[in-house]
Amino acid sequence: MRTFVRAGLAGALACGALVTVLTVGRDDDDPAPPQGPYVALGDSFTSGPRIPAQTGKPAGCDRSDRNYPSLVAKHLALDVADFRDMSCTGAEIEDLSSAQSTDDGVNPAQLSALSARTGLVTLGVGGNDIGFAATVQECVKKGAAYRLTGSGRFTGNDAPCRAEYVSDGADEVTARIDAAGERLAGALSEVERRAPRAEVYVVGYPAILPPGGNRCADDMTLAPDDVRFLDAKERQLNSVLRERAEAAGAVYVDTYGPSVGRDACAARDTRWIEPLMPAADAAPVHPNERGERGMADAVVRALRTSG
């Protein structure tokens, strides 16, 4: 996703022991997973900002050599020449087909890495198109004010942020999600045109906030009903990503289900997503190394069952 606070939020603790072997195995009767060349497309949930070691060019894309595409490539034992990671922090769907300027360099149009030889494509994008990171930050500000003014005791409003986006029956975030779905449909059509033999996997977003709402306290100052609102919008985005993937003949990879209970409000030794003040090497409100491993497991599982 596009926005994260760059200054003063570096994690203080490393993200546990290094594990580069995925937990998903393969039975002899399972269909063979698709092979490369493999091209990974996506935004910062794919690239893995601040997870060491950062690698690739341009440096402004913030790619980690332990992000889920790198782990999937290792699982498939692909040669270096058969793996291209084009993911980039801040990428929107339009950046798949256009060059993207970053804080440190320009990333070529992500689709430029595709060819008739490409055998596997993963795509994780859409969050920046709906401005989800900025919405979370706005809701955190509203949540701080909510707590300072009695946590709804005087106003009776446990969702001060939702009113900024939903008014008189109009839902601004839903409108953005629908528009992103239209753009994704066009992008998937272009992927098929450029890489006609590739198997395409659209990777959804892991749980960023708890579905119940009440467990988010110290790490994310959000009013409880705003937590529910934001989680509902994320699930709505994932639903549209699934619909568009399936309509295009692609496979949707669910990372939300496996990550429930491992959101940014969970304990630091179990969570996949870091809160606004990360305790592990990761960008605020982004996957840590554990989260990238979990997403890789979900992708490998989809490769195994649909290949």
Q: Report if residue 142 sits inside a domain.
A: yes
Instruction: Give me the number of domains the chain comprises.
Output: 1
For residues 257-283, give the mean pLDDT: 95
* Residue 295, pLDDT above cutoff 50: yes
The answer to the question of residue 251 being in a domain is: yes
Q: How far apart are CA 241 and CA 124, in angstroms?
A: 9
pLDDT in tens, 44-58: 999 999 999 999 999
Within a domain: 94: yes
AA letter at 183: R
| pLDDT number for residue 168 | 85
Residue 80 has pLDDT above 80, yes or no: yes
Residue 17 lies in a domain: no
Give this prediction's pTM: 0.87
Q: What is the pLDDT of residues 13-48, one digit of tens each?
A: 333 333 333 444 445 455 566 777 999 999 999 999
The better pLDDT of the pair 175, 223 is held by: 175
217 within some domain: yes
Say which DSSP state 194 is in. H
pLDDT over 60 at 153, yes or no:
no
Residue pair 142/164 in contact (Cβ under 8 Å)? The answer is: yes
Burial class (CB in 10 A: 0-12, 13-18, 19+), 80: exposed
Point out the residues that are catalytic.
44, 286
pLDDT of residue 160: 85
pLDDT band at 246; cut points 50, 70, 90: very high
Q: What's the one-letter identity of residue 143?
A: G
pLDDT in tens, 161-217: 898 899 888 999 999 999 999 999 999 999 999 999 999 999 999 999 998 766 676
Whole-angstrom CA distances from 38 to 98, 197, 203, 299 are 20, 12, 15, 13
Residue 32 lies in a domain: no
CA atoms within 13 A on the CB side of 269: 1
CB 262 within 8 A of CB 291: yes
Choice between 33 and 130, residue whose per-residue pLDDT is larger: 130
CB 256, CB 206: distance < 8 Å? yes
Q: Would you say 259 and 271 are in contact if contact means Cβ atoms under 8 Å apart?
A: no
Mean pLDDT value across residues 108-116 = 98
Q: How confident is the model at residue 144 (pLDDT cuts 50, 70, 90)?
A: confident
Residue 212 falls inside a structural domain: yes
Nearest CA to 91 out of 111, 71, 121 is that of 111
Distance of CA 158 to the CA centre of its chain: 27
Q: What's the one-letter identity of residue 232?
A: A
Inside any domain, residue 27: no
- 147: confidence class by pLDDT, cuts 50, 70, 90: confident
As a whole number, mean pLDDT of residues 250-265 equals: 96
* For residue 267, pLDDT beyond 80: yes
Range of the domain at 180: 38-306
DSSP secondary structure code for residue 273 in this structure = B
User: According to the model, what pLDDT value does residue 298 have?
Assistant: 98
Q: Does the pLDDT of residue 82 top 80, yes or no?
A: yes
3-state helix, strand, coil in the chain (%, to 5): 40, 10, 50
CATH number for the domain that contains residue 95 = 3.40.50.1110
Q: In whole numbers, what is the pLDDT of the chain averaged over residues?
A: 87
For residues 237 and 226, the answer to whether their CB atoms sit within 8 Å is: no
Please choose, from the candidates 83, 78, 87, 73, the residue with its C-alpha nearest in 3D space to the C-alpha of residue 299: 73
As beta bridge partners, residue 252 has 202
